[in-house]
Amino acid sequence: MTASNSCTATRAEFESGTVPIHCSAWPPATLTASYPALEQDIEADVVVIGAGLAGSSVALHLAERGISVVVVEAAQPGDGASGRNAGHVQPFLDALEPLQSWPGQGQPFIDFFIENRNIVFDLCARHGIDGDAVKSGMVEAAYKKQGALETKAARWQKLGYEVDVIGADRLREMLGTDAYSYGLHWREGGQVNPYLFTHGLTSAAAGLGARVFGDSPALSCDKRGQGWIVTTPRGSVRAQKVIICTNGHTGNAFFPELARTRYPLVACAMATKPLPQAVLDTVNPARVALTQYPAGLFPIVIDGRKRMITATIPYPGRADAAQTYFAYFLRYLHRTFPQTRGAAIELESYWTGVTASSSHVYHNDFAKLYEVADGVMALMNLGTWGNVMGPLLGMNLAHAIAAERPQDLLMPVERPASVRFPRLFEFKIRHLAIPAARVADRFGLV
Ligand SMILES: Cc1cc2nc3c(=O)[nH]c(=O)nc-3n(C[C@H](O)[C@H](O)[C@H](O)COP(=O)(O)OP(=O)(O)OC[C@H]3O[C@@H](n4cnc5c(N)ncnc54)[C@H](O)[C@@H]3O)c2cc1C
């Protein structure tokens, strides 16, 4: 099935979020560094399985502390959700209540999050990563006053954030539309090319001595003496510690219980061809990362190549219907930004990916840190906000390992536990919430 000019993938690949990574708009035409397969038996202090945002960050921060680390990645860095996402860098947490059960009732994590909320931009600056990261701020835009947004702004203002409640005039100025009359403007956060950022993290780790192997899926993970041996098709790594950061993407045949800890959700994303100048001049001239409140139907960024990138949730069984979702997106654009009617806005790329969430309640969705066995941990289920959480939690985990201070971990360490009704989240979102939100948005009912 052809979904865009260059992407040829099967319906099953679209439906499982595993279309080839070049279907995503984020990889450059000439692919960045590719890492060789592991072809020998080697040793390290720590082996990290999976080079997405989480695994790359763990590796980078371990290497920075002088720990000997090996990364084995099934494909190449960024091949999972990290190379497929919508590029939003969210500087705040959606809810604080679920953190009550975290160490110190979540306060140490909240403090750490606040201190490191600019981690994407900081890491790019520190390691010279060219991730097209722009700290352009974020806008949550609504058709009418929303009490929940006002409460959220007050809460984060108290925590020291520069976030403003804005009205129609300011929204018009920033976004170039009269459609919204109420919203929040977060001065921090913004956007990133998540594929380039993930590659940048991996290559910074490699620069600091981490040994990175691509095309090396971990096939097994077995206890050997005091440590573990992770086997790939043509090699193996013996290490004291194993950190699994596979996001449940291709599954872990060796620890199948991990795949049952998550609510998977297939999401689709698309990029336009570079926009006509008139559109660039009048749509979102502030270049903020834009999301719509409450449903976030079409989060939008305009990237360094002047393309508009958005994401949405496909109908069940119709994840390959690129033209359908692009038509929905255009309808939204034309209605919200009438100046785009008649403009040549064309689809360049369409792809899908899978998110792995720890909760079927959207706002309760926080990443999980599992102790799978003695010496084997898994950092996964980063949900829909991994651009900040992956690097941030990876850094905390790496620092705690390097210092041999498990008490420094900010997340609770849990045993993997199966979620109940794993398809519930997907059913709710794909069958009910998103179709209802599309109708409500179309008729301005929210
Ligand atoms: C369409 C879409 C839009 C999104 N939008 C946003 C957004 O705007 N902002 C945001 O912050 N987040 C967003 N997210 C979520 C974000 O992308 C994820 O939370 C994040 O990428 C997860 O990172 P990760 O490292 O845990 O997993 P992944 O990036 O999935 O990495 C897991 C890696 O493990 C590898 N792997 C799997 N099995 C094995 C094995 N056996 N051996 C070796 N390697 C293995 C995979 O190949 C993969 O590279 C979005 C996600 C999607 C799908």
Would you say 384 and 53 are in contact if contact means Cβ atoms under 8 Å apart? no
Report how far ligand 1's centroid is from the alpha carbon of 247 (Å). Answer: 6
Residue nearest to atom 21 of ligand 1 (CA): 82
* Confidence category of residue 1, pLDDT binned at 50, 70, 90: very low
Interacting residues of 294 by C-beta distance below 8 A, sequence separation 6+: 142, 146, 148, 446
**Per-residue pLDDT at 158 exceeds 70:** yes
Would you say 148 and 186 are in contact if contact means Cβ atoms under 8 Å apart? no
Residue nearest to atom 2 of ligand 1 (CA): 85
Residue nearest to atom 48 of ligand 1 (CA): 80
Mean pLDDT of 273-300: 96
- Amino acid identity of 184? L
Mean pLDDT of 376-394: 96
Mutate to test the pocket of ligand 1, among 84, 245, 247, 263 (most ligand atoms within 8 A of CB): 247
Domain definitions of the chain by residue range: 24-90+195-261+361-425, 138-187
Whose tokens are 């080839």? That residue is 20
Mean of all residue pLDDT scores within the chain: 94
CA angle (319 as vertex; 25, 26 as ends), nearest 5:
10
What is the architecture of the domain spanning 24-90+195-261+361-425?
A: 3-Layer(bba) Sandwich (3.50)
Beta strands in 227-384 (DSSP E): 227-232, 235-244, 263-272, 289-292, 300-302, 308-312, 347-357, 368-373, 376-380
Would you say 40 and 382 are in contact if contact means Cβ atoms under 8 Å apart? no
Q: Which residues of 53-85 are buried (b: 16+ CB within 10 A; e: fewer)?
A: bbbbbbbbbbbbeebbbbbbbbbbbbbbbbbbb
Environment class of residue 172 by beta-carbon count within 10 Å: exposed (0-12), middle (13-18) or buried (19+)? middle
Would you say 105 and 82 are in contact if contact means Cβ atoms under 8 Å apart? no
Residue nearest to atom 31 of ligand 1 (CA): 52
Pairing of strands 88-89, 138-142: unpaired
What pLDDT does residue 429 have? 82
Would you say 189 and 289 are in contact if contact means Cβ atoms under 8 Å apart? yes
Pocket of ligand 1, beta carbon within 6 A:
49-55, 72-75, 79-82, 84-88, 90, 217-218, 245-247, 249-250, 252, 267, 269, 311, 353-355, 380, 382-388, 390
CA–CA distance, 330 with 324 (Å, rounded to integer): 10
Q: What is the pLDDT of residues 200-248, one digit of tens each?
A: 999 999 999 999 999 999 999 999 999 999 999 999 999 999 999 999 6
Interacting residues of 214 by C-beta distance below 8 A, sequence separation 6+: 34, 35, 36, 37, 51, 73, 75, 76, 77
Residue nearest to atom 4 of ligand 1 (CA): 85
Q: How many residues does the chain have?
A: 446
Mean pLDDT of 403-413: 97
Report how far ligand 1's centroid is from the alpha carbon of 344 (Å). Answer: 32
Report how far ligand 1's centroid is from the alpha carbon of 386 (Å). Answer: 7
